[in-house]
């Protein structure tokens, strides 16, 4: 186990993890032998979420909304069909709502009860999103959570937390950074981070991308 | 259930620790556990609300000490055993020892893309009228079912405002129990931070939950 993995699974000793690894392998064999699963379908599911579906999808949606006022209006009115226009739809994104950040209002998304997350636009959630520290404090002390991400908002900014308790999935539309007026959609997408679409981060500055 | 999963507002979990350049999966077993969970939905015959209950229904100390894919995998084992699709001796042996039970459908590689694209929409047609409208004051009921519910403890008993009528959606409390979809009106309900957390709350914060009509009463 690498140093990196060790740090990530700091709460679990090695034997516990290897027991899980063995059981997962055993169960896959049993389910395959019984004809319940096809390992080729499993490979495709993994490939889909490792290679095809991820925050780059959401970044394209955000960049399009920044560049095209008519698209922005459609996205904010009814996000599911607007996102489907760009080619993203399906599991864990059946009903999507886009949330517009403004100088007065900052939106942040959490699922306090499990791990609900808009898969078609952001991919699978990072470990911290599913973790107790985030799920516990996002709703009660959002500014301290933002501080964990190095984000400090003006004192007067209203923070709105969306707890994803049903099958509605939320995508934050962050504010477009200044100095990007003549930028193409493709270039704008490079500014859009995963965390800025969850509300725990802000888009990159034009300078950061130029580096 | 008032279990380890209902984390909103609890203390002592420490700081959020984002992992720089985090991979989608941490190790091969997470990939397989994830894919097995998705692929078994069809032959397993359970719904997403049953899956969520299988994940949360364990001692809180256990829930909080497991990684998320460990929770997913433990729930998958539970659901398979409950339906006699797999037995413990088979997992221990690493091989099928008993005849397979007939299942309705399995996921073929050719069906993966369209199955994911279709997803599982939860909005349903209804002849009923929504009892609340935007702007109405509502109180989240003080309910404490030991079964699956999606009304977090931190809003129970508190007064909020209906912000939006979302539509009529499958009711998890029924669906998780195998009692049918029982669709109900679903609303976005907004609460002031101070209403939820008193003087310890952030006066500039507002929190919303999506709540089904049976969770709410006029205030």
B205 and A161 in contact by Cβ < 8 A?
yes
Give the model's pLDDT for residue A16: 67
pLDDT tens string A18-67? 899 999 999 999 999 999 999 999 999 999 999 999 999 999 999 999 99
Largest CA distance in chain A: 60
Give percent of chain A with pLDDT exceeding 70.
91
The token pair at A191 is: 């500014």
Q: What is the DSSP string of chain B?
A: --STT--TT--------PPTT--SSSSHHHHHHHHHHHHHHHHH---HHHHHHHHH-S-HHHHHHS-HHHHHHHHHHHHHHHTTSS-HHHHHHTS--SPPPP-S----GGGHHHHHHH----B---SS--S--TT-EEEE-----SS-----GGGTT-EEEEEEEEEEE--HHHHTTTS----EEEEEEEEEHHHHHGGGS-TTEEEEEEEEGGGEEE-
A33 in contact with B at a CB cutoff of 8 Å? yes
Give the model's pLDDT for residue A210: 75
Give the model's pLDDT for residue A12: 52
Q: Is A25 helix (H, G, I), strand (E, B) or coil?
A: helix
Contact between B3 and B56 (Cβ < 8 Å):
yes
Alpha carbon distance B94, A22 (integer Å): 9
pLDDT of chain B, 219 residues: tens digit per residue: 999 999 999 999 999 999 999 999 999 999 999 999 999 999 999 999 999 999 999 999 999 999 999 999 999 999 999 999 999 999 999 999 999 999 999 999 999 999 999 999 999 999 999 999 999 999 999 999 999 999 999 999 999 999 999 999 999 999 999 999 999 999 999 999 999 999 999 999 999 999 999 999 999
Find the mean pLDDT for residues A166-180.
Answer: 98
Q: Is A105 helix (H, G, I), strand (E, B) or coil?
A: strand
The sign of the CA dihedral B106, B109, B114, B117 is positive
A169 in contact with B at a CB cutoff of 8 Å? no
Give the model's pLDDT for residue A17: 67
Q: Is the pLDDT of residue A159 over 90?
A: yes
Contact between A172 and A198 (Cβ < 8 Å):
yes
**Contact list, A135 vs chain B (CB under 8 Å):** 7-8
Of B14, B39, B90, the CB nearest to A42: B39
Residue B177 makes CB contacts below 8 A (sequence gap 6+) with B147, B148
What is the 8-class DSSP label of residue A50?
I
What is the CB neighbour count within 10 angstroms for residue A158? 16
Alpha carbon distance B72, A124 (integer Å): 14
Give the model's pLDDT for residue B150: 98
Q: Is A86 helix (H, G, I), strand (E, B) or coil?
A: coil
A115 is a catalytic site residue: yes
A196 is a catalytic site residue: no
Give the model's pLDDT for residue B122: 98
The token pair at A163 is: 């707890």
Give the model's pLDDT for residue A209: 87
- Which residue reads 């000793």 in tokens? A13
A148 and B17 in contact by Cβ < 8 A?
yes
Residue B92 makes CB contacts below 8 A (sequence gap 6+) with A26
Give the model's pLDDT for residue A73: 98
Residue B12, judged by CB atoms within 10 A of its CB (0-12, 13-18, 19+), counts as: exposed
Q: Is the pLDDT of residue A6 over 80?
A: no
Which of A1-5, A7-11, B13-17 reaches the highest mean pLDDT?
A: B13-17
Instruction: Give pTM, 2 decimals.
Output: 0.95
Q: For chains A and B, what is the number of CB pairs under 8 angstroms? A: 277
* Nearest-Cα residue of chain A relative to residue B76: A27
A184 is a catalytic site residue: no
> Would you place residue A1 in the very low, low, confident or very high pLDDT band (cuts 50, 70, 90)?
very low
pLDDT tens string B174-203? 999 999 999 999 999 999 999 999 999 999
**Contact list, B210 vs chain A (CB under 8 Å):** 163-166, 168
Q: Is A100 helix (H, G, I), strand (E, B) or coil?
A: strand
Of B43, B202, B209, the CB nearest to A143: B202
The closest of A53, A180, A144, A200 to B34, measured between CA atoms, is A53
Find the mean pLDDT for residues A155-159.
Answer: 97
Torsion angles phi and psi, residue A169, rounded to 5 = -110, 140
Which contiguous run of DSSP H or E holds residue A67? helix A55-67
A111 is a catalytic site residue: yes
Give percent of chain A with pLDDT exceeding 90.
89
Q: Is the pLDDT of residue A14 over 70?
A: no
Give the model's pLDDT for residue A117: 98
- Residue B64's region, left for phi above 0, alpha for psi from -120 to 50, else beta, is alpha
A165 in contact with B at a CB cutoff of 8 Å? yes
Give the model's pLDDT for residue B163: 98
For helices A39-47 and B28-44, the axis angle rounded to 10 degrees is 120
Alpha carbon distance A135, A163 (integer Å): 9
Contact between B204 and A157 (Cβ < 8 Å):
yes
Interface of B with A in 27-56 (CB under 8 A): 27-29, 31-36, 38-40, 43, 52, 55-56
B9 and A158 in contact by Cβ < 8 A?
no
A76 in contact with B at a CB cutoff of 8 Å? no
The closest of B6, B11, B5, B138 to A140, measured between CA atoms, is B11
Alpha carbon distance A174, A192 (integer Å): 8
Query: ipTM for the complex?
Result: 0.98
């Amino acid at each position: 186990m690498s140093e990196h993995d060790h740090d990530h699974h700091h709460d679990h000793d090695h034997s516990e993890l290897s027991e899980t690894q063995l059981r997962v392998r055993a169960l896959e064999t049993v389910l395959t032998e019984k004809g319940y699963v096809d390992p080729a379908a499993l490979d495709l599911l993994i490939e889909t979420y490792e290679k095809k579906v991820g925050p780059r999808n959401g970044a394209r949606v955000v960049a399009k909304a920044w560049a095209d006022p008519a698209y922005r209006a459609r996205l904010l009115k009814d996000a599911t069909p607007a996102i489907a226009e760009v080619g993203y739809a399906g599991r864990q994104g059946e009903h999507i709502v886009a949330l517009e950040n403004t100088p007065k209002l900052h939106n942040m998304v959490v699922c306090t009860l499990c791990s609900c997350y808009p898969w078609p636009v952001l991919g699978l959630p990072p470990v911290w999103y599913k973790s107790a520290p985030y799920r516990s404090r996002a709703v009660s002390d959002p500014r301290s959570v933002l501080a964990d991400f190095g984000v400090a908002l003006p004192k007067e900014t209203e923070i709105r937390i969306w707890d994803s308790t049903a099958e509605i999935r939320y995508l934050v539309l962050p504010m477009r950074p200044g100095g990007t007026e003549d930028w193409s959609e493709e270039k704008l997408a490079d500014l859009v981070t995963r965390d800025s679409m969850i509300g725990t981060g802000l888009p990159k500055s034009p300078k950061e991308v130029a580096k | 259930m008032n279990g380890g999963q209902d984390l909103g507002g609890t203390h002592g979990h420490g700081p959020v620790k984002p992992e720089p350049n985090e991979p989608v999966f941490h190790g091969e077993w997470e990939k397989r556990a994830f894919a097995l969970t998705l692929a078994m939905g069809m032959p397993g015959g359970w719904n997403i609300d049953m899956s969520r209950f299988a994940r949360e229904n364990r001692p809180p100390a256990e829930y909080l000490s497991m990684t998320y894919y460990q929770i997913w995998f433990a729930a998958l084992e539970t659901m398979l055993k409950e339906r006699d699709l797999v037995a413990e001796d088979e997992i221990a042996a690493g091989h099928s020892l008993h005849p397979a039970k007939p299942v309705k459908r399995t996921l073929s590689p050719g069906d993966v893309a369209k199955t994911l694209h279709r997803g599982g929409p939860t909005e349903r047609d209804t002849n009923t009228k929504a009892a609340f409208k935007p702007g109405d004051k509502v109180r989240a009921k003080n309910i404490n079912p030991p079964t699956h519910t999606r009304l977090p403890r931190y809003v129970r008993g508190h007064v909020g405002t209906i912000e939006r009528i979302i539509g009529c959606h499958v009711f998890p409390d029924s669906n998780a129990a195998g009692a049918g979809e029982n669709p109900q009106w679903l609303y976005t309900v907004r609460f002031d931070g101070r209403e939820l957390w008193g003087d310890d709350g952030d006066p500039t914060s507002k929190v919303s939950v999506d709540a089904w009509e049976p969770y709410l009463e006029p205030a």
